[in-house]
Amino acid sequence: MLELKLENDLASQGYRLIAGVDEVGRGPLAGPVVAACVVWDFSAPFEHGELALVRDSKLLSAKQRQKLFGLIKERAAAVAIAAVNNRQIDKINILQASLLAMRTSVDKLSVQPNFVLVDGKFAIPKLSLAQSAIVDGDALIFSIAAASIIAKVSRDYLMNQYDKTYPGYGFAAHKGYGTKLHLERLKALGPSPIHRLSFQPLKNWREG
């Protein structure tokens, strides 16, 4: 169970509405990068309850993530999701696209947080709210881990939909990551409209 020390410390300083932000999908060869922002209300003592299983989404099964997705949306003060598509990723690069997705997720919130905890080493540009970037935050900080679950489930859903739109690539199985199956299908079919042409080996394919 992830402790709430940082969130409770911030709450004691007057930051009662605390958000965690994380993104999923920086590495895949296809599909969007998806960010989520989850706001928690620490104006009263916070009990994990059924949320005790919240941790880095990569450490959970698909079934666990799906259950926690619903619980987080029920318990959180606000949840927002944002995606940046492959064309924008190719245009501005994956780091800038990830930061854009995170900032957009914060901007879309129905409840404005007092403090934002961001996964990674980069703060969100052009954000007027108090924030702190935390390396490996999804493995250490409850609020960020919750956001990682929302982002992961949301992106997996999108990739399952893309699997129906662009059959043959196996998007539902590998979610756009460069698996052996994906590379084989890419070689046979060529890039789809959701592939990131700035990524290797697609960049070589485009230039060739």
The tally of domains found in the chain comes to: 1
pLDDT at residue 114 above 70?
A: yes
pLDDT band at 1 (very low <50, low <70, confident <90, very high): confident
* Strands 17-24 and 33-41, bridge-based pairing: antiparallel
Q: Provide the residue range defining the domain that includes 25.
A: 5-207
Side-chain-facing half-sphere of 17: CA atoms under 13 Å: 15
pTM above 0.85, yes or no: yes
List all residues 6 or more positions away from 31 whose beta carbon is below 8 Å from its beta carbon.
25, 86, 155, 158, 159, 162, 171, 175, 176, 194
Tens digits of residue pLDDT in 144-175:
999 999 999 999 999 999 999 999 999 999 99
Residue 21 φ then ψ, to 5°: -130, 135
Per-chain mean pLDDT for the chain: 96
List all residues 6 or more positions away from 40 whose beta carbon is below 8 Å from its beta carbon.
7, 17, 18, 19, 20, 46, 75, 76, 77, 143, 146
Q: What is the CATH number of the domain that holds 102?
A: 3.30.420.10
b/e code 131-148 from CB counts within 10 Å (16+ = b): beebeebbbbbbbbbbbb
Residue with tokens 């998806």: 34
